[in-house]
Structure 1
Amino acid sequence: MAIDMARRTGTARESKVCGLGHLGWPLMTVALVLAFLALVPAASLAQSGIAGVVKDTSGAVLPGVTVEASSPALIEKVRSVVTDGEGVYKIVDLRPGTYTVTFTLASFNTFKREGIDLPSSFTATVNAEMKVGALEETITVTGQPPLVDTSNVVSQQVFGKTVLDSVPTTARMPQTYMTAIPGVNLAPSLTGQGLTTTAGGITIHGSRSRDSAVLLDGFSQSNWTNPGGQGFYWMSNPATAEELVAITGGARADQDLSGIQTNVIPKEGGNRYSGSAYFHYTNDKFLGDNRTETMKAQGIQINGSRQSWDYNPAVGGPLKKDKVWFFGSYRSFGEERNAGTLYNLTPTAWAYTPDPSRPPAGFLLSDRDYSFRLTYQASPRNKFSFYGSHQPRTWRSRDISSTTSPEATTWTPYIPDYLVQITWKSPVTNRLLLEAGGNYVNGVNLQRCNTKDDLLFSGPAGSAPDCSLPTAVETTTNARIRSAAGYGLGNGQGKGLRWKAAASYITGTHAFKAGMDLQSGSLHELQRHPGDYQVNLRNGLPTSLTLYSPFDYTNHLKADLGIYAEDQWTLKRVTLNLGVRYQYFNGYVAPMDEPANSLMVARHFDGVDQVPIWKDIVPRMGVAYDLFGSGKTAVKFTLSKYMAGETVAFTRSANPVVTSVTSVTRNWSDTNGNFIPDCALTNPLLNGECGIISNLNFGLANPRATTNDPATNRGWGARGYNWETSAAVQHELMKGLSVNVGYYRRWYGNLTATDNTLVRPADYDPYCITVPVDSRLPGGGGNQLCGFYDVSLAKFGQVQNNITLASNFGEEKDIYNG
């Protein structure tokens, strides 16, 4: 059970100065037909609205009333609709801001409601009672509408600009604000080191981190390095955020994932110039040190921050009033941190020798961000928005630790690392809204020889490292010396292209929406190992080698397509939220030519299509009931199905290079003590000082590689999923304060299990154990205790794993209640 308390102030939302793929033709055809809106989708997850009923003083409903919502937040100034035959109206797709709603009808006084503070992803109820009189006479009412959304069933939390500026967080990342929501679990990596930019997963109500996503105006910023929406290099600039909207449950059919969707609503600028600036700096002068002089003499180092900084100015305003707005921001932030280790005096030798003459070693993480948004009201019916951001990041001495010597770290630039996004919206009539949009994300994590740490090369003569030397690991401590484990693309280069398009038809009683979203992309992975092998030491002496084959491959998402239709149907005090979504997912691996190295020749691997190919129908249902008709108390119920988050992780598991034998070990007896393997490393058999390699299929396809049951990766209903149901009550306690009490239940389906197909139940032999002799045991002990089983000697060590449905072995449940 979750209990939320929400308080809203009535402050204005305007910025203030605060001081300083690749698609096959059938899919392409479907996409183009559905995307009749020509461009690419606006962010439905960010849409707000105003809705209500208009009546006369006798209580009779009034059809045909013109309802206008105006706000400085709208570049078009005003949005208007007309009440339907039931006197109901809905104005959708509004920016967060302060609104005035005006109701006009011939032979009636004009009715005006002012000071409506509208947050993101919220439908405010604004009813009107109109009196018979002259149209020129206006009745004006000022005040906030109820805090309770009696139309939508989406569970969400909105963090306004005041909260974003006031609440201290360690990293100023969207995820770090989510800890204020009851029931949220946040990965520790997000809150560990000062201003770290580490990205981790967040979960709520039994969801999984792969199902969470961070969005920019409704578009995912993931770059495919992890399944679902959780992996990214690019991060939104906090100075550009107008609000954060966290959707935690009850999602509509236009949302694909079930976890927390953290949506950043970017600022647009406005008709007046405004700006802000954030500044933070600290260093090790503020760091405590409880080491004794003896400890310092022993070389014990402090593992703490040397300095951290964050400078983040922003400015926005009109290039042409009511026509073109801009908003831009620059950010420089990062951290330098001690690693609790010293530089190695002998980085090319086979042992670590601490060098107290140089300062302690550490890492330096430095980020910059250049973000710009342009909003263009091309005509009264056409609005375009463009957002571009480049975020180069550098990481000196990455992975340094007390067990990784400085010369064994890497220099890691994240270049390129950018996002571009464009949206288009067109209220064709006061009932028909067309919207479209898309974004492209390109991020890379390069791991190179660490030549950027000047202290690595400023030690005594002979203490400079050599990145071409084979790396070495002391197996008794797992300490790495000499060079990095590998160089290349690290977590890979992810490229993602996303498109959306939708059409909404709003009559007042009905708010119907149909649309599509489509994403495609790739993750390129590459790695080389210095010397093509690793030396494994025990107490400073060689015992074995680990041999590596190079790899260079790309996993592709051909299409992750969603087609949906949904309707919000208002029947007096009841609002039905009904939707259905079709999801199609198709990944593939292109043919690959792997390079040669000193241990093997070049190799070719055929591509693999349709790994996986999933098709699913996903229903979304919900009902909201205005309990007393006052708009201050709502009872809500939802039942929704979601598919498991995925990008290219499944495709990667079926990649022939990944499933090949990419590394092997072989014993090494360095009989002459020269630390050089005196043998023919290309000969896999026993020769010279080297033993036989651990797998004779080194560099080739692995006949014992883990396989996937087609029941888990092909066709209708094969994809992992979860159902979510919720029941909640929302009530406004007083002006500006509301409470939300909810119950949530989630259960998962198509769970998988790993089956060793070479070992069956009959291959286990029974055995007994002899109970110790002890007078406290029944019968004094000494008896045989049987009923235990172990794999037979004939099958010991035989492994051929297959990922299959857990239901093949009985009923497995994964259920959350809370």
Structure 2
Amino acid sequence: MLFIAIADVASAQNTSQVFGRVTDGSGGVLPGATVTLSSSALLEPRVAVTSETGTYEFSGLPIGTYTVKFELTGFQTLVREGLQLQGGFNAQVNGELSVGGLEENVVVTGMNPIVDIRSTTQGTRFNVQELQAIPSTRDVFQVLTQTPGITSDRQNVGGTHNGQQIGMFSRGAANGQGRWFVDGVDRNDIANGRPFVVDFNSVEEVQVSTGGADVTMQTPGVFVNVVTKSGSDAFRGATWFFRTDRALGSTNVTDDLRRAGANSGNPLVHTNDYGGQFGGAIKRGRAWFWATYGMQNVRLGVLNYYKPDAGCAAVQANPLAYSFSDVIDCLNINKQDVPALGSKFNLRPFAGNLVTVANSFGQRVETIRGADDLHPTFETTNKMTFMKLSDSTYDLGPRYWNTGIWDPSWKFSDQHTFSDRWLADVSFGHHCWCDSIVPQTDELRLVQPMLELTTGTWGRSWSDSSIMLVTNNTVDMATTYFLPGQWGGDHSLKAGFKYGHFGEVYDRSYSGHAQAVFNSQRPLPIFSTPFTARVIRDYITPAFLDQNSVYLQDTYSRKRFTAILGVRWDRQVDNVAAISVRAHAFQGQPTIDGTLFNLFPAIDVPTVRAGVVWNTVAPRLGLTYDLTGDARNVIKGSYAIYFDQRSAGQLSKALNPTGSARIDLGWSDLNGDSVVQVNEINQSLIRSVTGFDPANPAGLVSANRVDPNVTAPRTNEIVVGFGKEMAGDFGFNVSYVWRRYDNFIWNDTIGISSSDYSAVQFTPPSSACPSGARCETVTYDVPNVTLPSAYTVTNRPDFRHVYNGLELVVRKRSSRGWMLNASYSYNTTIEHYDSAAAYEDPTNIVRLNGFQYAPSAGIGGGGGSNLAGIPVNAKWVAKLNGSYRLPYEVNVAATADVRQGYPFAQGVNIASRPNRAPAIAVLLDALGEQRFPDFATMDLRLERAFRVRGMKVLPSFDMFNVFNANTVMGRRTNQNAANANSVFGILAPRIARIGMMVNF
């Protein structure tokens, strides 16, 4: 009998297997036994007949609770009930039949395997019961931070960062190599890591993989697939409202923190989370639908960001002179709205076939994006909204396909089951990030921003207007086949093909045509010492990537031994399409010495192709051995090679002369208005240059080069571990993980090596250093020759990262009224520069070589999400979440997160170096030696279910940051600056949420 599943099957990660062997009481195999699998997740039961080796397999199973029935003439019927399947799990369910009549039933309940003997993939899964039971901010990305070993770049307390895609880091991999899918649709933005929106209540399960050799995983980063709900023959739905409010909160800012710069903390003012969903049958047994709408309103106070009115100006000037409540009342509120709209339609046109059409629209709309102490006024922030067709002169595509409403996502799939052994699926997915990030008013697009190098503070306006259109179009074909009794064992085969066309169109214009850059040493006020005129060219870059992928995998099982043999091939090639770029507003005007500004003329460039094709072959090997033959004590090991995915146009952009280009020129503020006029610019004094050749600004051929032999960055991984299942759905797993990252890509300046630099010393003047700053003598390097702007994109020699990690995971599945997930991870990722060929500028190498690798490491600057560039690295991480059901349907739950503090990378800023060398921050310590305080937080949840006229009513109370911790999350690291060591971020204070959900 053929099988149809309501859930989507877009990749092997989405669905599960049930497999096993049928034997008699003596252990002899029973071929010809009938195995029936049934569940409300299936439209009709699925039936298989055991092979000559007594084995069976059901593939492509959706999430749900299943019953397995074993029947054979002359034996009693065995029924195993309550099998809970999560996405991507392979459940071994064996049947031992006793002699008797078919009408005699033996019923076994509550069997739920913990250890997957057919997989070495590591990670975790959150089903809908867990998502709803544990305390969370009702944001998918925040839930992911409960995955063992994962660290993140921010902490979401009660909804402070809802709608933002949290940067997640695991096992030394870069955040940009994570992969994100919703129902198998690729929603990855390799270059930018920007958020996608999915309504929390529409989620059926979240699957997170961090490694372990599955052949469907191309890259070494975190792999996330979000499975959404679908309709069924039973009509069902829900509505909800949740409110987090400052009236239910506390204050965690002490006087010491106020004196250190945390004058207001990061208080959450309130959040509203409301919406509804429903679904059911259009025609029972034939067609179904599901629809959902959700909205989250987040109102957040930003540390040291004040209302622009006269009454609050005095508070901003001297906040310590006012009470804490007065300071809080003067905070300017950042408003974020996160709407999500989705629908899904399933059609069974004929037996064995399922067609799915799914669509969603989602967006994060933010009013004062980027607000922090470095962007302290309304004018220096921007706003994010959805894109309109009129926003760009570039063709942005059809309305509602790419633009005109919130970010769209579409999926079309067709799944067919040919037999109980063979299933195939084909799907097409489309997703677009269609964002418009612009200054607060149209008038500010003409206002020139100011930048103070010493403190990183911006003034007067936001730097640019950006239209970003990032599209993913993918075609996936996948198939699974069960081949029993061959070569001494059973083979579970899977194969797949994927074609992806990824686009990235940026239309960026810069406010006021230039940036006025200052270098005002303390005790002078900021913006008092003009330093350089930063002139940047507006540009449009339509970049693209085409990728073809093929994978094959055979899971071979023989008695207690399983071998997983796989290989994948990926072909990647990119280009930048033809484009015309307008001339800069300064072009042709006289400069300070009378010569005409001639650096950014209008230019028409044809399509640019780097001509480099990456063809990578990645082997995968996994081995498991069942020590006791009952899937309760399993040794596992795996080896894998991963290769990075290119971003759109990654190589070809280097050859595109119309891309991002800027030049820092001499500037004399002749009229003292702090605005760069073209007649104040000295074209002959070039401090630094990026992205073009000033000697040939109109050239159609870039001076940059792409090494024709450049290859994809590579990761080698070895994992060994042991998994044990104990009584009561309880088990643990311990693993050792080793990784080596190498073959990195860098821009190698043409004609320059580390031998072209010389060391010099610098001691900041005491006047430049506030009390408590570390103004030590530092050594940095300067080039002995003028640095050219041209570079070669190539692989970085003698440079590698090595990761070693130990991970313990304890898991109790939800049963008998309680569940538990706990983990402890020890991680270390060391950065190695094995020779002088691994770097050009020797500055800081002594502080980096042989020490911790920390993504985003560096001297902090303002970020688009109220963040600075904090190094993310914790050697140890412990996590716990669980729930317990009390009498009268009362549920209590908790989560806890404890980790080592991230590195505090203090440094001395060198604003000016000769020979066009850029500014640099000289680290005072080896990275990771100085750290922020260890981090710990806990959240609690209380929920009581009531049943009213067929409805389930769930009032709830959540409390976040229960102990009101005030851990410092970030300080300004420049020591020779007025804001040295100033606190710019602390953990948001304790706050509570009340809510109500009604399921019907």
TM-score tier after normalising by the smaller chain length = 0.7 to 0.9
Alignment correspondent of 1:336: 299
1:680 is displaced (CA, Å) by 4.4
Give 2:607's aligned residue: 607
SS in structure 2 opposite 1:400? coil
Question: Do 2:272 and 2:297's aligned partners in 1 also have CA atoms closer than 8 Å?
Answer: yes
What amino acid does structure 2 have at the position aligned with 1:562? S
Contact 2:655 2:705 in 1 (8 A): no
**Cα-to-partner distance string for 1:220-279 (whole Å, 9 max, x where unaligned):** 3124443xxxx2332222111112222222232222223321221211133322233443
* 2:408 matches 1:418: yes
The match for 2:707 is: 709
Secondary structure in 2 matching 1:46:
coil
Instruction: Summarize the Cα distance change of 1:766–1:167 in structure 2 as closer, same or farther, 3 Å threshold.
Output: closer
1:365 to 336, 346, 350: 336
**Quick check: 1:437–1:501 contact (8 Å CA) kept in 2?**
yes
Assess if the C-alpha contact under 8 Å between 1:420 and 1:440 holds in 2: yes
- Structure 2 partner of 1:164: 131
Matches within 5 A, 1:106-125: 106-125=73-92
1:325 aligns with 2:303: no
Aligned to 1:248: 210
| Structure 2 equivalent of residue 435 of structure 1 | 425
**Does residue 466 of structure 2 align to residue 488 of structure 1?**
yes
Q: 1:221 aligns with which of 179, 187, 207?
A: 187
Alignment of 1:623-638 (within 5 A): 623-638=623-638
Counterpart contact for 1:190–1:199, Cα < 8 Å: no
1:93 equivalent to 2:93? Answer no
Contact 1:174 1:214 in 2 (8 A): no
Deviation at 1:620, TM superposition (A): 0.9
Pair 1:563 & 2:539 matched: no
**Paired residue for 2:476?**
500
Contact 2:655/2:702 (<8 A) preserved: no
Counterpart of 1:650?
A: 650
Tell me whether 1:395 sits opposite 2:366 in the alignment.
yes
Alpha-carbon distance in 2 for matches of 1:451, 1:765:
47
In structure 2, what is the equivalent of residue 731 of structure 1? 724
CA contact (8 A) 1:556 1:648 kept: yes
Q: Give the corresponding residue for 2:512.
A: 531
* 1:675 CA drift (Å): 5.8
Is 1:741 equivalent to 2:741 in the alignment?
A: no
Deviation at 1:421, TM superposition (A): 1.5
Looking at structure 1, the residues matched to 379 and 754 of structure 2 have their Cα atoms a distance apart, in angstroms, of 50
Per-residue CA deviation, residues 396-433 of structure 1 (Å, 9 max, x unaligned), is: 12222233221232232034412112222111112221
8 Å CA contact 2:667, 2:682 repeated in 1: no
Q: 1:706 to 1:220 in 2, by over 3 A?
A: same
Query: Are the aligned partners of 2:665 and 2:682 in contact in 1 as well (CA < 8 Å)?
Result: no
Q: 2:142 aligns with which of 153, 176, 196?
A: 176
8 Å Cα contact 1:210-1:646 kept in structure 2? no
Of 84, 94, 98 in structure 2, the residue corresponding to residue 127 of structure 1 is 94
Is 2:422 the partner of 1:444?
no
Give, as a single letter, the amino acid of the residue that structure 2 aligns with 1:406. Answer: F
CA distance in 2, matches of 1:685, 1:403: 29
CA offsets 1:599-636 (integer angstroms, 9 cap, x no match): 23421223322464200111111122221112222111
* Aligned-residue offset at 1:85: 1.4
Q: 1:77 aligns with which of 44, 54, 65?
A: 44
Shift of 1:474: 4.7
Relative distance call for 1:421 and 1:345 in structure 2 (3 A) is: same
Moved more, 268-277 or 416-425: 268-277
Gaps of at least 5 residues in structure 1 are: 1-12, 16-39, 347-351, 453-464, 713-717, 770-787
Pick closer, same or farther for the CA change 1:78–1:805 going to 2, 3 Å.
Answer: same
User: How far 1:326 moved relative to its partner?
Assistant: 2.4
Q: 563, 583, 588: which one pairs with 2:575? A: 588
Q: Is the 8 A contact 2:750 2:788 kept in 1?
A: no
* Residues 802 and 125 of structure 1, relative CA distance in 2, 3 Å threshold: same
Offset of 1:679 from its aligned partner? Answer: 5.4
Cα offset, 1:564, TM superposition? 1.2
How many residues end up aligned between the 2 structures? 721
Change in Cα spacing, 1:487 to 1:626, as seen in structure 2 (3 Å) is: same
CA distance in 2, matches of 1:317, 1:203: 39
Amino acid at match of 1:221: R
Cα distance 1:676–1:564, how it changes in 2: closer, same or farther (>3 A)? closer
1:498 aligned partner, one-letter code? T
Secondary structure of 1:162's partner? Answer: helix
Q: Deviations over 1:265-316 (max 9, x none)?
A: 2111333222334432233434556799xx99x9976653332222243223
Q: Which of these residues, 532, 545, 563, is aligned with residue 576 of structure 1?
A: 563
CA gap of 1:526–1:663, structure 2 versus 1, over 3 A, is farther
**CA distance, structure 1, for counterparts of residue 753 and residue 686 of structure 2:** 30
Q: Which amino acid aligns with 2:55?
A: V
Q: What one-letter code is carried by the residue in structure 2 that aligns with 1:486?
A: D
Distance in 1 of aligned mates of 2:199 and 2:415: 24
Paired residue secondary structure (1:177): helix
Change (3 A) 1:343 1:705: farther
Shift of 1:54: 0.9
- The residue identity in structure 2 corresponding to 1:330 is Y
Report the secondary structure of 1:711's partner residue.
coil
RMSD, aligned α-carbons? 3.7
Unaligned runs of at least 5 residues, structure 2: 311-315, 320-325, 388-405, 485-489, 588-600, 763-778, 807-1000
Using the alignment, how far apart are the partners of 1:127 and 1:677 within structure 2? 77
Rounded Cα–Cα distance in structure 2 between residues aligned with 1:156 and 1:497: 27
User: Bigger shift: 234-243 or 54-63?
Assistant: 54-63
Task: Check the 8 A contact 1:661/1:697 in 2, yes or no.
Answer: no
Query: Which one has a bigger Cα radius of gyration?
Result: 1
Q: Which residue of 2 aligns with 1:406?
A: 378
Q: Distance in 2 between matches of 1:51 and 1:118?
A: 12
Amino acid across the alignment from 1:636 = K
Corresponding residue to 2:111 among 144, 154, 164: 144
Percentage of matched positions with identical amino acids: 22
1:523 aligned partner, one-letter code: E
Kindly state the Cα deviation for residue 506 of structure 1 after the two structures are TM-superposed: 1.0
Deviation at 1:111, TM superposition (A): 3.0
Q: Residue 66 in 1 paired to residue 34 in 2? A: yes
AA aligned opposite 1:318: A
Secondary structure (helix, strand or coil) at the match of 1:176 reads: helix
C-alpha displacement at 1:676, in angstroms? Answer: 6.5
Distance 1:520 1:213 in 2: 16
Kept after mapping to 2: 8 A contact 1:661/1:698: no
TM-score if structure 1 supplies the norm length?
Answer: 0.80
Q: CA deviation at 1:663?
A: 3.6
Show the counterpart of 1:261. 223
2:743 is the counterpart of 1:750: yes
The residue that corresponds to 1:34 in the other structure is none
Q: Distance in 2 between matches of 1:758 and 1:729?
A: 52
User: CA 1:118–1:599 in 2, change beyond 3 Å: closer, same or farther?
Assistant: same
Contact 1:534/1:547 (<8 A) preserved? yes
Match of 2:243 in 1: 281
Tell me, yes or no, if the aligned pair for 1:495 and 1:523 is still in contact at 8 Å: yes
Change (3 A) 1:217 1:675: closer
Alignment of 1:776-795 (within 5 A): 793=784, 795=785
SS at match of 2:129: helix
Q: Who is 1:553 aligned against?
A: 541
AA at the equivalent of 2:143: Y
The secondary structure found in structure 2 opposite 1:546 is strand
- Alignment partner of 2:247: what SS? helix
CA distance in 2, matches of 1:409, 1:579: 49
Cα distance 1:186–1:127, how it changes in 2: closer, same or farther (>3 A)? same
Aligned-pair CA distance for 1:147? 2.2
CA distance in 2, matches of 1:611, 1:354: 58
Amino acid in structure 2 at the alignment position of 1:743: Y
Deviation at 1:370, TM superposition (A): 0.6
Residue 201 (structure 1) aligned to one of 167, 172, 175: 167
Provide the C-alpha distance between the structure 1 equivalents of 2:760 and 2:262, rounded to a whole number of angstroms. Answer: 54
